[in-house]
Structure 1
Amino acid sequence: MPGYRFTQYIPPQTKEGADFDRLLQVLMQLLNITGGDVSEALNWLNNLDQRYQLTTDDYGIGDFIEDLKAKGYLKEDESAARLIMTPKSEMTIRRTAFEEIFGKLKKARPGNHKTGQSGQGDEHGTDLRSYQFGDAPEHIAVTESIRNAHINHGINDFQLLDSDLEVVETEFRAQTSTVLMIDISHSMILYGEDRITPAKKVAMALSEFIMRQYPKDTLDVIVFGNDAWQIQIKDLPYLQVGPYHTNTIAGLELAMDLLRRRKNPNKQILMITDGKPTCMKVGIKYYKNSFGIDRKILRKTLTLAVQCRKLKIPVTTFMIASDPYLQAFVREFTEANQGRAYYSNIDELGSFIFEDFQRNRRKTVR
């Protein structure tokens, strides 16, 4: 039987292409771990190649580096005579984190957040109602309205009146403003456990997820050590832990300030930390105490938790630590805020944050 059979086109992949893609995946992970230090990441890649034979005689690390520059992943920093990442690399790291953490999610329409409320929203529902003055013309159900006109006036005297019109009920799609707080105090790399890399990876995956699925939402990322400051999404791969104490107070104050500027009613704070607050600023000086839980710092932290509650801003704390006295602090903080807390390890962090982000988007704070 003559005709054509259509099948999925799978482009041929050369051996060189396969080698490049495989090495690229490894390099993206190393760049995340090294805080965007290309030289250190390539040194690690060389060490891994010597140990696990990642390359072949036909395609070596030198060939890979030349391809990275040719394809726009790396470029020369002439002022410092070194290789640096390009925006293409930064985007690739974010997408790699997204696929690793949220790769099993089902596709959804951008901004598809149901609130269970009907009204003059931006998404068509399934219910019909009579036309009311002020309804948008594009919401008129043409077929049903013409049918009503035939029934009410007959075919010979056809006319379409306001009373014949029906409109499709629409549903609201709420927006959510999220601030993600990441602890970069020194304890995030203590005791031989790297906690900052999973935190960065989750932040990049969450930002990529929001940009893909909920483009009307906002996500601000802040880091807190001795102080707190906002960073851009593109800066996440370069984030590193410093010799800092944990000034949770500064982080909460900055998060509240950012959320005050957002006009939509749905707001939340997601805080990733592995310890207790040990620092606060009094005037121009830092008040620090790393030995146990300081009552002066605790009182100020709990006061901010209550302020967030009064502003209808739930705080969800993701505690990457199992010490009982640290968990006791989180429970007290959560009770003051009436928010939520998760005691997770670094492997479960991504699923916990996604679950909580979705949960808070399903309710509208009034």
Structure 2
Amino acid sequence: MTYRYGQYNDGPDPLAPPYDVRAALDEMGDAILSGSTPLHALRDLLKRGLPGAPDRRGLDDLLREVRRRRNELRERGRLDGTLERARALLDKAIGQERAELFPDPADEARLREAELDTLPDDTASAIQALRDYQWRSAAARQTYEELRDLLRREVLDSRFAGMREALANPDPEAMERVRRMMSSLNDMLDRDARGEHTQADFDRFMEEYGDMFPERPRNLEELVDTLARRAAAAQRMLASMTPQQREELGALIDQTLESAGLAEQMRRLGDALYARRPDLPWSTPERFSGDDPMGMGDAVSALTELADLTQLEAALRQDYPGARLDDIDEAAIRRALGRSAVDDLAALRRIERELEQQGYLRRQRGKLELTPKAVRRLGETALRRVFSSLDAGRRGDHDQRDAGAAGEPTGSSRAWHFGDEQPLDVVRTVVNGVRRGGGSPVRLAVDDFEVAETERRSAAAVCLLVDLSYSMALRGTWAAAKQTALALQALVASKFPQDAVQIVGFSNYARVLQPDELAGLEWDMVQGTNLHHALLIAGRHLDRHPDFEPVVLVVTDGEPTAHLLRNGRSAFEWPPSAETLELTLAEVDKMTRRRATLNVFMLAADERLKEFVDEVARRNGGRVFSASADRLGEYVVSDFLRSRRARR
């Protein structure tokens, strides 16, 4: 057997590695942490395209292609090509007739010339006036018949794509077959309106007249869609002309259909199509700027494509409520941009679908939300970025020197339980297997395993107090604060599971923030920085864990400007009132009595803020960090790790 190898061109590479949906989530996370909603973050991702896949276009790339195609169509030519050609043929026929009459000295020739002189100026009326004229010139008669054949072909081609080729040779039997087709089509539509139509009826219709429909529709619905879009485009063509052109071409169309015996059938068909698809743009004009005249069939085809591109552009923008990639018509994409665009769209749909199926996004009551799994992923990503920015000597696992252990070994062992991190006691495990009669070689069972007992590591009660005031957003530090909170939450959950962490957000009031809501958290557009209330909540958290080491971290960009009254209401005053400062510092003193060190991370350099945090440091003994937004996470995580290592 012989084999031939070559480039695979039938769609996407089947051997390509699967797209990592986590990279898409990480890109969304940057936008979400900056204040964007999950829905807008997902839309922005799909518009830009897939990270790590430069050969795949995003929605914006497809949108640019659609707009480029629309401009090309508008510059293709003028819509009055059929009118211009009809006038030319009419003038040619009249000229040929005059040339035949001129040498004849008879009165009849002069009467005919007078009749030609009195023809109406507009083409439609002139053609109608010459309907019963007895041509003296054979050449003129042939030109006139060519004109009528042209109009029949163009009028029918404007309603049925490809009809122009079917009627290329004038044949009475061909026109009779068109009449039978239209009668059968209208009857089928009437039966469908009464609920009597079946697929078998449609199959029989296509078996007899399928050659007249190059689109090869599979059912009546597809046929109606094709015909309705073309009929709407024909109406738009007339609406796009000048009033004089519209009146003249409309009269030509009516005359042509009447002379072909199709006027009534075409009226029935037009009414049925409009009733089924009133949503189509039936009378919206378009502007064409080209110089080349287009026939009616070509003009209608261009307008049909323009209507498709307009709808496709709206779907690709995805800027309407409830927008989904499923709203984008794959057939329209294929018609407008080709197979490669269909593959690009499929890749984007796969990302949207995988983010939901893999449990990162969920839709509740029409709203797109991050799941706890997604929040954990964003926290892990934020933590990795923090560690990547640390110095090489401080990077990595802070517990690396005894990885897997919860503390120093005690010298004893115990039976292994699922989830234990302690190292195995290999000697005792093998001895258990031998005693059980494991044979030679020794075969171990689950019950044989023992782990080395270790001293219990001290646990910490961690409080991170994050400023939610509007000034955080104005200064551009809001995303860094959320990323820091996520990173600290991820660090404690993964490396210090015995610690009790609480994140408190504060503006005019303070509240405990759950890990699941951190990523989508928004700043509060209210007045007040109520650190007093935040310290009260943090103090209750520390009191619930009296045996834990207290860790309190404060991230803020302003001095306290609000405090909690006895009735539970918030009192705001700026510049800060003496009462606000006294109550806040009183809570700082309580933290000091709890042996809780308060470390403050300043995100602004205001003089009043500096004076306040200096006073906090003097009373509590904690440290003050003046951190930039891009290094906030590094400062907070490093300080937390330093305090944990110091306690060990």
Q: Which of 493, 515, 520 is the matching residue for 1:238?
A: 520
Q: Which residue of 1 aligns with 2:375?
A: 90
Supply the distance in 2 between the matched residues of 1:360 and 1:67 (Cα, whole angstroms).
Answer: 40
Pick closer, same or farther for the CA change 1:112–1:322 going to 2, 3 Å: farther
1:16 Cα deviation (Å)?
A: 6.8
Q: Which residue of 2 aligns with 1:65?
A: 352
The DSSP-based 3-state class of the residue aligned with 2:592 is: helix
Name the amino acid aligned to 2:551: Q
Pick closer, same or farther for the CA change 1:91–1:59 going to 2, 3 Å: farther
Name the amino acid aligned to 1:360: S
Supply the distance in 1 between the matched residues of 2:384 and 2:14 (Cα, whole angstroms).
Answer: 22
The DSSP-based 3-state class of the residue aligned with 1:255 is: helix
Q: Which residue of 2 aligns with 1:81?
A: 366
The DSSP-based 3-state class of the residue aligned with 1:347 is: helix
1:363 Cα deviation (Å)?
A: 4.0
Q: Which residue of 1 aligns with 2:633?
A: 350
Pick closer, same or farther for the CA change 1:73–1:59 going to 2, 3 Å: farther
Supply the distance in 2 between the matched residues of 1:325 and 1:354 (Cα, whole angstroms).
Answer: 26
Deviations 1:197-234 (A, max 9, x none): 11111111111111222221121111111111112212
Pick closer, same or farther for the CA change 1:43–1:122 going to 2, 3 Å: closer
Supply the distance in 1 between the matched residues of 2:470 and 2:584 (Cα, whole angstroms).
Answer: 20
Pick closer, same or farther for the CA change 1:330–1:111 going to 2, 3 Å: farther
TM-score by length of 1: 0.73
1:21 Cα deviation (Å)?
A: 5.1
TM-score by length of 2: 0.43
Pick closer, same or farther for the CA change 1:232–1:46 going to 2, 3 Å: same
1:15 Cα deviation (Å)?
A: 4.6
The residue correspondences of 1:276-315 to structure 2 (distance < 5 A) are 276-284=559-567, 285-291=569-575, 293-315=576-598
Deviations 1:99-154 (A, max 9, x none): 211247323559969xxxxxxx95227xx9xxxxxxx677xx9x9xxxxxxxxxxx
Supply the distance in 2 between the matched residues of 1:329 and 1:311 (Cα, whole angstroms).
Answer: 21
Contact 2:555 2:603 survives alignment (8 Å): yes
1:250 Cα deviation (Å)?
A: 0.2
Q: Which residue of 1 aligns with 2:25?
A: 24
The residue correspondences of 1:83-162 to structure 2 (distance < 5 A) are 83-103=368-388, 105-107=395-397, 122-124=407-409
Supply the distance in 2 between the matched residues of 1:93 and 1:186 (Cα, whole angstroms).
Answer: 23
Pick closer, same or farther for the CA change 1:212–1:13 going to 2, 3 Å: farther
Q: Which residue of 2 aligns with 1:253?
A: 536
1:279 Cα deviation (Å)?
A: 0.6
Q: Which residue of 2 aligns with 1:332?
A: 615
Name the amino acid aligned to 2:39: S
Name the amino acid aligned to 1:217: D
Q: Which residue of 1 aligns with 2:45?
A: 45
1:48 Cα deviation (Å)?
A: 3.9
Deviations 1:275-320 (A, max 9, x none): 01001122334321123x3222111111211121112111111111
Higher strand fraction (1 or 2): 1
Q: Which of 442, 445, 459 is the matching residue for 1:175?
A: 459
Deviations 1:2-56 (A, max 9, x none): xxxxxxxxxx996573475543331222233336x22221233355459xx9642
Q: Which residue of 1 aligns with 2:35?
A: 34
Q: Does 1:194 align with 2:481?
A: no
Pick closer, same or farther for the CA change 1:234–1:21 going to 2, 3 Å: closer
Pick closer, same or farther for the CA change 1:13–1:186 going to 2, 3 Å: farther
Contact 1:27 1:41 survives alignment (8 Å): yes
Supply the distance in 2 between the matched residues of 1:28 and 1:288 (Cα, whole angstroms).
Answer: 34
User: Which one has more relative contact order, counting CA pairs under 8 Å at least 6 apart?
Assistant: 1
Supply the distance in 2 between the matched residues of 1:281 and 1:46 (Cα, whole angstroms).
Answer: 45
Pick closer, same or farther for the CA change 1:316–1:112 going to 2, 3 Å: farther
Q: Does 1:323 align with 2:611?
A: no
- In the alignment of these two chains, the number of paired residues is 304
Q: Which has the larger radius of gyration?
A: 2
The DSSP-based 3-state class of the residue aligned with 1:219 is: strand
When structure 1 is superposed on structure 2, of 272-281 and 81-90 the one drifting more is 81-90
Supply the distance in 2 between the matched residues of 1:76 and 1:169 (Cα, whole angstroms).
Answer: 46
Q: Which residue of 1 aligns with 2:186?
A: none
The DSSP-based 3-state class of the residue aligned with 2:605 is: coil
Supply the distance in 2 between the matched residues of 1:350 and 1:321 (Cα, whole angstroms).
Answer: 16
Q: Which residue of 1 aligns with 2:437?
A: none
Higher helix fraction (1 or 2): 2
1:91 Cα deviation (Å)?
A: 2.1
Identity of paired residues, percent? 25
1:178 Cα deviation (Å)?
A: 0.7
Deviations 1:39-84 (A, max 9, x none): 221233355459xx9642433433421232233322332xx32333
When structure 1 is superposed on structure 2, of 41-50 and 219-228 the one drifting more is 41-50
Name stretches of at least 5 consecutive residues in structure 2 with no aligned partner. 1-12, 58-340, 415-424, 428-451
Supply the distance in 1 between the matched residues of 2:376 and 2:453 (Cα, whole angstroms).
Answer: 39
1:173 Cα deviation (Å)?
A: 2.3
Name stretches of at least 5 consecutive residues in structure 1 with no aligned partner. 1-11, 114-120, 129-135, 144-167
Supply the distance in 2 between the matched residues of 1:38 and 1:102 (Cα, whole angstroms).
Answer: 26
Name the amino acid aligned to 2:481: A
Pick closer, same or farther for the CA change 1:26–1:15 going to 2, 3 Å: farther
Pick closer, same or farther for the CA change 1:363–1:42 going to 2, 3 Å: closer
Name the amino acid aligned to 1:25: D
Supply the distance in 2 between the matched residues of 1:282 and 1:215 (Cα, whole angstroms).
Answer: 36
Supply the distance in 2 between the matched residues of 1:13 and 1:294 (Cα, whole angstroms).
Answer: 68
The DSSP-based 3-state class of the residue aligned with 2:369 is: strand
Name the amino acid aligned to 2:598: V
Supply the distance in 2 between the matched residues of 1:196 and 1:214 (Cα, whole angstroms).
Answer: 26
